[in-house]
Structures are given as C-alpha cells and as structure tokens.
Structure 1
Amino acid sequence: MDFSQVTFLTGARALAQCPPPGLPEVAFVGRSNVGKSSLLNALWKRRAMAYVSKTPGKTAEANFFCVDDVFMCVDLPGYGYARVDKSVKRAWEKFLPAYLQTRESLVHIFVLIDARHPPQKADVKTVVWLVHGKRPFTLVMTKKDKISSQRLEEHQALWTALLREYHHHADLLAVSIKEPQAVEVLRQQVAAVISVPEATRR
C-alpha cells in the first residue's frame, strides 16, 4: 500500500448519500483553516486530488476517496463553517455527528489541529465528544514548520493534559506538508489503524 492510487468516489451532505459500507474508512476532520486538504494531497502524493482553496471552509461536503483499493479516506467539511449559508451550516451540523457516531465502516478519525495555537474551543469540543462517544482517534498537529520547537512542545503538553483529565490516551502527531518524513509518519499511522483487527478497534 503506497497511497498513490487514489480515486474520488462521491461527495455527501447526508448519510443517505454516503457509499454503502464496505472497505474500512478513515476520516479527517478539523477546523476550516487547518490545512486539511493540503495535508491529504501530501499524504496521497498527489497535488490536486483534495480541493485546496485560499478561502477556509470550501470543503462543502464529505468527500469519499478509495485508496489503493484497500480503504476509504473521507475528507470531512471543516468545522467553523467559514462563509457558508446557514442552511449549509445546519446540514453539516446534522451530518457530521451522525456520520462519526453511526458509520459502520468508520474505523478511525484523524482530528487535525493547528499547531500554532493552544487548544481552541471548537477543537476541544470535538475531541471531548469523540472521547465520550468512545471513537478511536489520533490528534494531528498541522503547520509545525510555522512554530518554534519550544512552543510546539508546550501545545502538545496542553493537549496531553486535556486528554488526561478525561482518562483518555490518543496518539499525538505533529506534521508539516513541507516535511516529507513527518508526512510519512502519518501514512504509517493510517496504515496501522487500517490493519487493526475489527474486534479491537473500539
């Protein structure tokens, strides 16, 4: 599995529009300006598979991609909902928790957070919701190249302390699309969660 064979399948704004459950799915979610689409393109070794916009919040639906005919990658709309109609915002607010909580083939969630900032309210809300819902997830700190090592360690410590408050452990990665080695670590993490036996995923 080399993450180079990526096929776009469909976009969905409601559960009924999602592909039938089948291959294991990993979902990527984060704030609307966290750099999710850019990171996915780096992860897949493709320049323009996931749409990248200069305007935050342009991922308007859940985009399903088949990777190497082995698993599905789901690019979820960014929360924060920058510059979208209220009707679209309401649809996303209904779809996201329903998908994350009930999707049978969803095996892992990668929560992208901006490494430049300490824990933000929207990110904390998402993480706490996943903890209470007992959904397996990994925290991925993006844009690590734009912050000092000391500040990065401080923010990592804040997230670790937050998870400890809820008696929860989750892997915490720091990446940058400008650092191929860091992206490769994320690829390995994705491959690892795909290979976890179904009985131990939750």
Structure 2
Amino acid sequence: MEYAEDEYLMISGIQHFAFCRRQWALIHIEQIWQENLRTAEGRILHEKCHDACQKEKRGSLLISRGLRVFSRTMGVSGVCDVVEFHEAEEGAVLHKHSGFWVPYPVEYKHGEGKSLDADRLQLCAQAMCLEEMYCTDVPKGALFYAASHRREEVTFDSCLRERVRQIFSEMHQDMARGHTPRVKPSKACQACSLKPICLPRLMKHHDVSAYYDDALGRER
C-alpha cells in the first residue's frame, strides 16, 4: 500500500503520539498549539541545526542538515536535523559523489535522555524513510541531547521498526476519523504546553453534575 501525498503525516508527530495520543490529536488534527519554555528552547535548537550550511564534507564523512525525507509506504514526511553519510563498501549512491555511503540520522533534542521511547521512535522513523529513499540499510542513528552534550546511539531493531509501523497506522486511522481521544491524566501532563487547553483534570469527571459539584466546592 502507498499513501497519496495529501495523506502524509508529519514524522515528528510520532513523538507526540507516543508521549500522549490526545496531545498529538490536539496538535495535528485540531491544529492547536501553545508554547512553553521547553518547546521554545527545543524550537530554537532545531532552528540552529537547520540554519547551518546544508552540506559539508570531512574526508569519508558527508554531513547534510535539514534533509527532507518521506515514505510512501508509511505515508509520512519530515525533516532530519542532521544526516551523516559514512563512506562504506556497500550503501547508497549519492549524486556528485563516488563510492557508496551509509546514512546515519542524528536528531537533536533539548534536555536529557528519556526512558520513554518517543525520541527513539522518531529517529527510527527517519531511518526507515532514508532506507526507502536511498534503497539501502540504515542500521543505526543517534540522539543528541543538548543538556548533556552527549549522543545516545540507537539500533533500529525489528521490534522498534514494527512499533513505528503500528503507530503510524494508528495515527492515520485517527486522522481519517478526526478523532481526539480522552486520556488518563498523569504526572507528564504537568510538563505539557497544551495543559491549559487540554484540561486533563476534566478527564477524571464522568458526568456534568460531578464537574459542577467539584467546580463549586460542593460535597456529593
């Protein structure tokens, strides 16, 4: 199956979806966005990555910034912060460059590494797009966290790849339905820039009378 271009979803949305399905729907279906300090700092970090020279060569290493990627089979498109092309015995053939090259995506993130796989899923999705575009394997990539100034190398195993495909399938289904789901509030809601719009506290109430009793401070 291949998706039409007008059905493409943003690759970066997989990070939102993995963090909170309701957050993804508010941003990508309802087109609602609000910044806080964290999102502003993250946006500035990505702008700096993309503002640098688009391509540079360092011996057996080619560096491309702001590279646009897509996948017809997953129905997604987006921009990679950095893609390093490492010269190898086998790999992709690049225009105006001899030999073979293996893509290695690098995604820049504000803050520190996380136990949640949202960032790894986004990076793996970029790698899968690169594989489809360049007809070569992309086995690894890296997440660079600004707070620690360290790279976390990610291996794109079969389990991670299958999760990427499954999540994109669910995202397409929700987009087609125009569905914004309810979610169970968690501690993660405190850091979400959409908290004032999402109002996660209201998810706990199951009827109107309970909401009014709580809002007016009345005992039931």
For the aligned pair, the TM-score class normalised by the smaller chain equals under 0.3
Which structure has more relative contact order (CA 8 Å, sep 6+)? It is 1
TM-score, structure 2 as length reference: 0.26
Q: Which has the larger radius of gyration?
A: 2
TM-score, structure 1 as length reference: 0.27
